[in-house]
Structure 1
Amino acid sequence: MTRIIETERLYFRELVDTDVEGVFSLDSDPEVHQYLGQNPIRTIQQAEDAIKFIRQQYIDNGVGRLAIIEKETNDFVGWGGFKLITDLTNGRKDYHDLGYRFIKKAWGKGYATESSKAVVEYGFNELKLPVIYAIADIGNLQSQKVLKKCGFIEKEVFNYDSVPHYWYELLNIE
């Protein structure tokens, strides 16, 4: 499997069917979903459907969230990367959103910052994106710290699914 992005401790590759247990472990955890609408998945089928949905994004949009693998253990620890948002969100559409999600055993290791910095570099240098956006629930202080460490600028507060979120922007300034 091709490593698309690599950092000191992690690498990214496409999500594949054999990631179903990892995706289920990640997305069935209510704590992981605390700031994601509090709607964790409940079945393996939902994890399979999520992988299929993301794999279709690779085909349709050329990007989609990627599996994040810990080099030392070769374990699935989460997903991250870009998603092309085609629905209207905060007055915008057809933009690249940076996202990440990690299983609890990977929390507190700096993986979100390490991986997000690598994704931003990939987005600007390889995909030649002019701008990258991200959102974070106003209660999610950890994600806010990660995005700011990566250089994102908090632009405004807006309601996403009736919950206040910060809208972040990072311009590709060459």
Structure 2
Amino acid sequence: MSNFINFNAQTERLSLRCVEDQDAEIIASLMVPEIARWLASWEVPFTVEMAQKRIIRSRREAEAGSALPLAIIERETDRFVGWVSLYRYRDNPYRGMLGYWIGIPAQRLGYLSEIKFAILQAGFDLFGFDSIEAGAQLANEASFGVMT
């Protein structure tokens, strides 16, 4: 399996890189109830310690080649604005799952639409996926807009 810890990609306004220890504080501050309510595996309050543990686990998965957990960074400001991940299904190594969130201050700026093709391409190229799935709660119109 490949090691994805050093993955890096750029779009016009954004950089994508593996999440790092230094991201824990901003992740904890951005994971508010308005974001967590749409996510199955993130809870609030989300502490810095919880963020540190998630980062450690996610980096291990990246090292093992089973996940690509990426910080979404504004290139102009170097500000962490969200998290996007690709995961390999355990029961089918050719099937991937995409998960993502954007912090409230950076929502409605088109960031997920800007990175979605780079993420999907990484899934097909790096993981060798045949298919990539994403899901959202029915009321989450913004996520459905990105997926469409």
TM-score (norm 2): 0.85
CA contact (8 A) 1:5 1:122 kept: no
Cα distance in 2 for residues equivalent to 1:82 and 1:3 = 12
Contact persistence 1:80–1:99 (CA under 8 A) = yes
Consecutive unaligned residues in structure 1, runs of 5 or more: 87-91, 149-174
Q: Which whole-Å CA distance do the structure 1 matches of 2:126 and 2:74 have between them?
A: 23
Counterpart selection for 2:89 from 85, 92, 95? 85
Structure 1 or 2: more strand by fraction:
1
Q: Which has the higher helix share?
A: 2
5 Å-filtered alignment, 1:133-152, equals 133-148=133-148
Q: Which of 34, 49, 52 matches 1:31?
A: 34
In the aligned structure 2, how far is the partner of 1:85 from the partner of 1:62? 8
What residue in structure 1 maps to residue 116 of structure 2?
116
Taking a change above 3 Å as real, the CA distance of residues 79 and 128 of structure 1, as seen in their structure-2 partners, is: same
Contact 2:66 2:87 survives alignment (8 Å): no
Which residue identity is paired with 1:75?
R
Higher-Rg structure is 1
Please tell me the residue identity of whatever aligns with 2:100: Y
Structure-2 separation of matches of 1:40 and 1:49: 15
**What residue number does 1:97 align with?**
97
> What is the root-mean-square deviation in Å for CA atoms of aligned residues?
2.1
Separation in structure 2 between the aligned mates of residue 60 and residue 125 of structure 1, nearest angstrom: 16
Q: TM-score, normalised by structure 1?
A: 0.73
Query: What's 1:161 paired with?
Result: none
Q: Say if 2:96 and 2:123, in contact at 8 Å, map to a contact too.
A: no
1:9 maps onto 2:13 in alignment: yes
Query: What is the CA–CA distance in structure 1 between the aligned matches of 2:89 and 2:44, rounded to whole Å?
Result: 21
Q: Percent identity?
A: 31
| Change over 3 Å in CA distance of 1:125–1:85 after alignment to 2 | closer
Q: How many residues align?
A: 142
Aligned twin of 1:56: 60
Q: 2:21 touches 2:55 (CA, 8 Å); kept in 1?
A: yes
Q: Which amino acid aligns with 2:129?
A: L
The answer to whether residue 29 in structure 2 is matched with residue 19 in structure 1 is no
Name 2:51's counterpart in structure 1. Answer: 47
Structure 2 Cα separation of the partners of residues 146 and 7 of structure 1: 16
Q: 1:39 deviation in Å?
A: 2.6
1:3 CA drift (Å):
5.8
Q: Which residue number in structure 2 is paired with residue 76 of structure 1?
A: 80
User: Once the 2 structures are TM-superposed, how far is the Cα of residue 53 of structure 1 from its aligned partner?
Assistant: 1.1
Give the residue type in structure 1 aligned to 2:118. A
TM-superposition CA deviations, 1:121-173 (whole Å, max 9, x none) = 2223444322111111111111011001xxxxxxxxxxxxxxxxxxxxxxxxx
* Structure with the larger RCO, 1 or 2 (CA within 8 Å, 6+ apart): 2
Residue 115 of structure 1 and its aligned partner are, at CA, apart by: 1.4
